[in-house]
Amino acid sequence: MSKNIFEDFDYEGYESMLQSALDQGVYIVHNFDVDNPLGGQTFVWARESEFKKSKMIRVAVSWCSPKDQFCKKIGTYNALFNWYENGDTLLLPVGDEDSAVIVRRLRHIFNHISFTTEFTM
């Protein structure tokens, strides 16, 4: 019998961090293969400056093991926890005026990291 992963889930903390992200313009992106949802990442990001032309983006990531089923809620919680509670963020020079370009660049980076670490472990 499998354990319910949401049995001990911090719903109150999740809702609070999610609301803070929405209020502060922090974007949430899920990056996984829909046809084979093992592994993947959820990353949250925001522009470091109020200027859209700024190149610096702050990002926090939650990684899902390639052996585990990807879950958006768990990924969102962990990425937001890294952002708000742990302060585990990176500054990356991938900014653009178009948010879709930023997401594409971040996906490229995290897909590359996932691909290279999967075969070197």
The answer as to whether 5 is a domain residue is no
The answer as to whether 61 is a domain residue is yes
pLDDT at 121 over 60: no
Vertex 84: Cα angle to 78 and 86 (nearest 5):
70
pLDDT at 118 over 60: no
* Per-residue confidence band for 114, with pLDDT thresholds at 50, 70 and 90: low
The answer as to whether 36 is a domain residue is yes
The answer as to whether 1 is a domain residue is no
In the chain, how many domains are there?
Answer: 1
State the amino acid at position 85 in one-letter form. Answer: E
Task: Give residue 116's pLDDT.
Answer: 52
pLDDT in tens, 91-102: 999 999 999 999
Distance CA 111, CA 82 (A): 19
Distance CA 73, CA 91 (A): 24
What proportion of the chain, given as a percentage, has pLDDT over 90? 65
The answer as to whether 6 is a domain residue is no
The answer as to whether 3 is a domain residue is no
The answer as to whether 66 is a domain residue is yes
Q: Which range of residues forms the domain containing residue 77?
A: 11-120
Query: Mean per-residue pLDDT for 7-19?
Result: 89
The answer as to whether 48 is a domain residue is yes
* Per-residue confidence band for 119, with pLDDT thresholds at 50, 70 and 90: very low
